[in-house]
Amino acid sequence: MKNQSAILFLSCEDRKGIVAEITHFITMYEGNILNCDQHYDESGMFFMRVEWDLSDFAIPSGKIEPAFEPIALKFAMDWRLEFSTERAKMAILVSKYDHCLYELILKNRAGEHNGEIKMILSNHEDCRPIAEYFKIPFHCFPVTKETKKEVEQQEIALLKKEKIDLVVLARYMQILSGTFIDAFPRKIINIHHSFLPAFVGAKPYHQAFSRGVKIIGATSHYVTEDLDQGPIIAQDVARVNHRDNVSDLVEKGRNLEKSVLSRGVRLHLEHKILVFGNKTIVFD
């Protein structure tokens, strides 16, 4: 088993001495730095992710935050601290399409995702057999226009009760309300087609085919109240040509969707993402 490590994310206005102060803090208390990555952008902002081994670190993990606070205040940092051994509790929301659901379950079972799938929620019964096969609790909440608000309250209550850390929308065909999103800030990841909003609504691959597109894609992103406009985590594309029919586009698109969603979830669970405004810095 790997030793526990601490992972510090920070953003602040760039100034001299930030890196020196942080590395001095870690080494002064006998911490061994494992990874250190930083980024400066043209707006004058500085971003950093630093990870260190806690085996010989003199400060107990529960007291690191107050010990670091004076440095954070000195540089007016927006920061957070994570720990490598913390295993996130995940909930997967799905409707009828199951390709992304299978991918997430299999990656989790293979140990490629450092998280625990606590439940699957759906507005349809179609995926219940999958949940039962893998022995994952399944909850069905049928949604209508009239019951949507009430159903969301029930879902939020269940997710909170189980202390869910990450909600993954694996082709969940419902638009989440602001209330739902606010209950899990920067903790909801969705997948959609990269060629949105050019092809909005139903059957986007059919629309793409009719326009003769040459590239299709998929994007995983954090969910915000602006539909499909949240901070982007991962993207990928596949080339298509005139020989590809609608079925070919659908197959290629679904392969992209499941791989890009899985990658976005993995990056989140491995604490590789720093969100700044409506963009991400991905330290991969």
Active site residues: 228
109: which residues sit within 8 A by CB, 6+ positions away? 134
Is residue 196 helix, strand or coil? coil
Contact 167, 159 (CB under 8 A): yes
Beta strands at 273-276 and 279-282: parallel, antiparallel or unpaired: antiparallel
264 alpha-carbon distance from chain centroid = 5
Q: How many CB atoms lie within 10 A of CB 208?
A: 23
How far from 98 is each of 15, 20, 118, 172, 206, CA to CA, in Å?
Answer: 48, 48, 17, 10, 19
Residue 249 in contact with residue 240, Cβ under 8 Å? yes
Calpha distance 20→31 (Å, rounded): 14
The pairing of strands 78-83 and 5-13 is antiparallel
